[in-house]
Amino acid sequence: MTTNMQPSERQRLIVDHINNHGRVSVDVLAASMSISRETIRRDLAALAGKGLIFKFHGGARPVDAPRRKRPGEGPFQARMNENVEAKRRIAAAAAALFKSGDTLFVDTGSTTVFLAEELARRSGLSLITNSCAIADHVSRGDGARVFLVGGEYRTGAAENVGRLAIEQIRTLKAEHVVLTVGALDVDGVFDFDLQEAEVAREMIARARRLTVILDASKLGKAAIFQVCALDRLERVVLDQPPPPPIAAALAAASVDVLVAK
């Protein structure tokens, strides 16, 4: 995080981090946001005074922490309303990585929907997706070719999954695959949904270059189904730098880390 960020923006990111992670220590917040513990303590005091978080000695938690759900991803439409500014920054940075003539697999996810809005402004792309929403966004652009993978339709995320989707993906090939995932840690990238993880794995198998896009709330999160190991990634696009253990694991795997400004 840059040192010249406005306090209001920094505090909004702190609230997002706490709401996504639950109880968080001052040390973890300082490390994940690359700012001093003293600044974090001042921000927590200000946020607690506004009733936006609950501050305790050494850290903070959400004001509704006792009623928080078990870990996992919420309904898709709820995720579309979470960390919107961060996802838009990530999407803009990721879209700039691709040029006319590129062919992309893109999987279902809230962050990839924002990416689709950016890709709709570019011309000459060919996009393969199992997301009806992504296909709709990109097809409204000028000059993009869009291929929608069929399969079992799930209305929650407006996506196609299952055996039929997997079989269709196996007949296709792309230079790039762009995924948004449920979690990324030192052991790899993971998802909460088995069928979405299966689609993602098949897309990876049919593409040469893998880009993962995700906001920092997904870092260190626990999810069940592994999508791939870190050394399969070419690059990851984030809204803020990863904490040291994950940054070290990404560097060891020769993964390029792009932080959206």
pLDDT in tens, 149-177: 999 998 888 899 999 999 999 999 999 99
Q: How far apart are the first and last CA of the chain?
A: 9
Going through 63-118 in order, the beta strands assigned E by DSSP cover: 103-106
Instruction: Compute the residue count for the chain.
Output: 261
Residue range 109-125: average pLDDT?
Answer: 92
Kindly state the percentage of the chain with pLDDT values over 90.
62
Q: Give me the pLDDT at residue 4, please.
A: 65
Dig out the tokens for 243 from the structure. Answer: 């904490």
Higher-pLDDT residue of 57 and 72 is: 57
Q: Give me the pLDDT at residue 70, please.
A: 44
Q: Is the pLDDT of residue 2 over 50?
A: no
Highest mean pLDDT among 43-52, 65-74, 130-139, 173-182: 173-182
Q: Is the pLDDT of residue 12 over 50?
A: yes
Report CA-CA distances (Å) from 108 to 32, 84, 216, 217: 27, 16, 18, 18
Q: Give me the pLDDT at residue 227, please.
A: 97
Higher-pLDDT residue of 65 and 47 is: 47
Residue 186 dihedral angles phi and psi, to the nearest 5°: -65, -15
How would you classify the pairing of strands 207-213 and 235-238? parallel
As a whole number of angstroms, the distance between CA 96 and CA 211 comes to 12
Q: Give me the pLDDT at residue 93, please.
A: 97
> Contact 120/113 with Cβ under 8 angstroms?
no
The predicted model scores a pTM of 0.71
Domain positions in the chain: 7-67, 76-259
Residue range 256-260: average pLDDT?
Answer: 97
Q: Give me the pLDDT at residue 183, please.
A: 95
Residue range 217-245: average pLDDT?
Answer: 95
> Contact 192/225 with Cβ under 8 angstroms?
yes
254: pLDDT confidence band, cut at 50, 70 and 90? very high
Dig out the tokens for 202 from the structure. Answer: 């098949």
Residue 5: which residues within 8 A CB-CB, separation 6 or more?
none
Residue 15: which residues within 8 A CB-CB, separation 6 or more?
47, 52, 53
Q: Give me the pLDDT at residue 29, please.
A: 83
As a whole number of angstroms, the distance between CA 194 and CA 197 comes to 5
Q: What is the mean pLDDT of the chain?
A: 89
Q: Give me the pLDDT at residue 55, please.
A: 86
Which residues sit opposite 128 in a β-bridge? 105, 147
CATH class of the domain comprising 7-67:
mainly alpha
- Residue labelled with tokens 């004001």: 63
Q: Quick one: how far is CA 41 from the chain centroid? A: 27
Which residue in 27, 2, 31 sits closest to 248, CA to CA? 31
80: pLDDT confidence band, cut at 50, 70 and 90? low
Q: Give me the pLDDT at residue 222, please.
A: 87
Report CA-CA distances (Å) from 55 to 48, 62, 172, 214: 6, 9, 52, 27
Is domain 76-259 annotated with CATH 3.40.50.1360?
Answer: yes
Q: Is the dihedral of CA 24, 28, 29, 32 positive or negative?
A: negative
